[in-house]
Amino acid sequence: MVTIRAPDVSMAEEVLVGLNTIFPIIKRMYGVKKIGMFGAFARRDAIPVDAVELMVEFSPGFETYRHYLGLRWHLEEYFSTKVNLITTRVLAESPAAASFDPEMGEVDQEALMQVLGELDFLQARCKGMAFESFARESLLRRACERSLQIMSLAVRRISGPQKEMYPGAPWKEVEGISQSIAEARFGADPFLLWHFIVTEVPGFTQVVRSAIQAASRRHQHDQGQAPPGECNPEE
């Protein structure tokens, strides 16, 4: 699929006209209450995007995965491209959406925030846990497998330049986790999962947190704001 560049006014207007045209249809078929653009399409940012970014709110009684997927496929067929469809509920609860930092770039920030969330989950659930205990907790192992997969897929979305700023981090290894777990015919090896969580996650958490904080400091500097704990010399 051809990558779409950041939208100019004409592209944004095209999307808006298209949504207004098909709204009566998607309202009747999928119970759409509200739908609109978000992210790069809403801001007209000059960054590459690979999908039409839309947010949707469903009417009561229509909030089902069947309606969500049906709407997404309908929109992708109508616009002849990939559609990134997010419910307003998820968008409102997303830390990345709430603290968007243009200096880092939306894709990197959203991905790093997602990675950090999974890293915090893994550390909180497995802190101080011996392998024997981890191996016995089947629900915990499944939760950790899923968390590692989400983290792995999020790392794949982080740009090369962002990763190059932290060359010692296990970017490549984390990227490979998702496929490794998915392709494990008899399930992922619990010892390997536990060992990665215990040995790699703490250091990787520091890297990801540092990347987010560094971008925040750059943005504050560009905006003429003093970082927390420092005074602004112009005041």
What CATH number is attached to the domain comprising 17?
A: 3.30.460.10
Q: Which of 72, 93, 114 lies at the terminal end of a domain, its last residue?
A: 93
Domains of the chain: total: 2
Residue 139 shares a structural domain with residue 40 = no
Residue 54 shares a structural domain with residue 114 = no
Q: Which of 35, 66, 93 lies at the terminal end of a domain, its last residue?
A: 93
pLDDT of res. 202: 94
- Give this prediction's pTM: 0.62
Average pLDDT by stretches of 10, the chain with 235 residues:
45 84 96 85 56 89 95 94 87 58 59 92 93 94 94 89 91 92 87 94 94 74 50 37
pLDDT of res. 7: 44
Strand residues in the chain grouped as ranges (E): 32-37, 52-58, 83-87
Q: Which of 93, 127, 162 lies at the terminal end of a domain, its last residue?
A: 93
Strand residues in 24-169 grouped as ranges (E): 32-37, 52-58, 83-87
Q: What is the DSSP letter of 22?
A: H
pLDDT of res. 89: 86
pLDDT of res. 120: 95
**233 occurs within a structural domain:** no
Q: Using CA atoms, how far apart are residues 192 and 195, in angstroms rounded to an integer?
A: 5
pLDDT of res. 111: 85
- Half-sphere exposure at residue 71, Cβ-oriented, CA atoms within 13 angstroms: 31
Nearest 5°: the CA angle 158, 154, 121 is: 125
